Amino acid sequence: MKKGLVLGLVLVLVLVAAGATVWFVTSDSTGARPPRTVLGRFASAEDLVKAFKNGLVADRGVMEDGLQFKSMTSVAPQTATASGAAESPEHSSTNVQVAGVDEADIVKNDGDYIYAIGGGALFIVAAYHPQQTRIVSRIDFGEGAQPAEMFIHGDTLAVIGTSGSEPVPMTEPMPGKGVNPAPRGNTTFIKVYDISDREKPALERSVRYEGSYETSRMLGQNVHVVLTTQPYYAFDGDKDIKPGDIIPLVSDTHGLTEPAGFTPAVGYRDIDVVDPEAFTSFLSVVSLSLADGSRSLNKRVIAGYSNNVYASRDNLYVAGT
C-alpha cells in the first residue's frame, strides 16, 4: 500500500451465527475500494510482546535506566410483559440510530414497568396503571460497582457497568488452576438477571472483563459489548513479558456459585492486529446471548483501539484513526 494514499481505515466486525469476522477496509485517493482482507495475526508470542514494548516506548517512553517501562493503568470508563399480564400498552423505546438495533440506556420501558439506573442501583418501577405506580424491586451491585447501562429482552435484564477498582499488582495464578484470582486493573461487568418475577430479580450470570466499557448494542437477543483494555504492567528487565501478562482477562460465573477466576480472554494466536509493529491497548468485542439458559460467550480481541462505533442489523463497525 503506497504511503499517502490511505485516507482512513474501518474495522468491520461481521457478526454471523458462527462468530464474528473482522475485516480491514481502506480507500485511496482514487476513491476505489480494494478487496476486503482479513486482519493479520501475530506470527509468534514474541512478535506480540515486541509490538507491545514498541508501543510503550513510542507512547510513554522509557525510564532512566533504559530497562523499565512505565506502569500502564487502565483507561477511565467512558462514560417485556409481566408474567401472566395482558399485552403491554403502547409505549416508546430507547431512541436508536438504526431500527432493530437496540442501544443500552440508563432508562428502559416495556409498557408495564420502568427500569432506571441511579445512585449505583437499578430500580424496577410498576408504571401501569398510573395510580398504582410503585417501586417493586431494587438491585444493588456491591461496593465500588457502578452500573452504567442496560438492556431488556422479554423477562431477561442485562446490566453493564464497571467495578471502578484501582489497578493492583498482577496476581500469581492459582496453583494448579492456571487462573488469576483477581483482575489486574479496572473491570467491566455484564450481569444477567431473570426478571420473570419483577419483585424478585434473580442473578443468572456474571461476566467480568478486564477493561473499560465503551458502548454496546443488542441485535435480537444477542448483546455485543465494546471495551478497551490498556494493560497494567511494569517491565523491569528482569522478567520477560508473556502474552498472558497483557492479554485482557475474563471471568464467567453462572448463578450464585463462587465467582470464577480470571483467565486470558483469548490466546495470542487469536488476536487480530491493525499495526503489527506497535500497540498499547486492546479493543475487545464481547458477545453473549440473552436466550434462556444460553452459556455462549464470544470474545474478539484486536491489538488496537476505537474512536467510534456504529451498528446495522448485519454488522458492527468500529472505527479508529
Locate the domains of the chain by residue range.
8-319
For residue range 107-148, what is the model confidence (pLDDT) as tens digits?
999 888 999 999 999 999 998 777 888 999 999 998 889 999
- pLDDT value of residue 249: 93
**Considering the entire predicted model, what is its pTM?**
0.76
Find how far residue 170's CA is from the centre of its chain: 21
Helix (H) / strand (E) element for 301: namely strand 298-303
33 or 54, which is more confident? 54
Among 24-38, 83-97, 207-221, name the one with the lowest average pLDDT: 24-38
Rounded CA gap, 108 and 297, in Å?
24
For residue range 35-71, what is the model confidence (pLDDT) as tens digits?
455 789 999 999 999 999 888 888 765 433 344 444 4
- pLDDT value of residue 207: 94
Helix (H) / strand (E) element for 245: namely helix 243-246
For residue range 174-228, what is the model confidence (pLDDT) as tens digits?
555 556 666 777 899 999 999 999 999 999 999 999 999 999 999 999 999 999 9
| Residue 77, pLDDT above cutoff 50 | no
Rounded CA gap, 39 and 10, in Å?
11
Closest CA to 225 of 189, 195, 261: 189
- pLDDT value of residue 66: 42
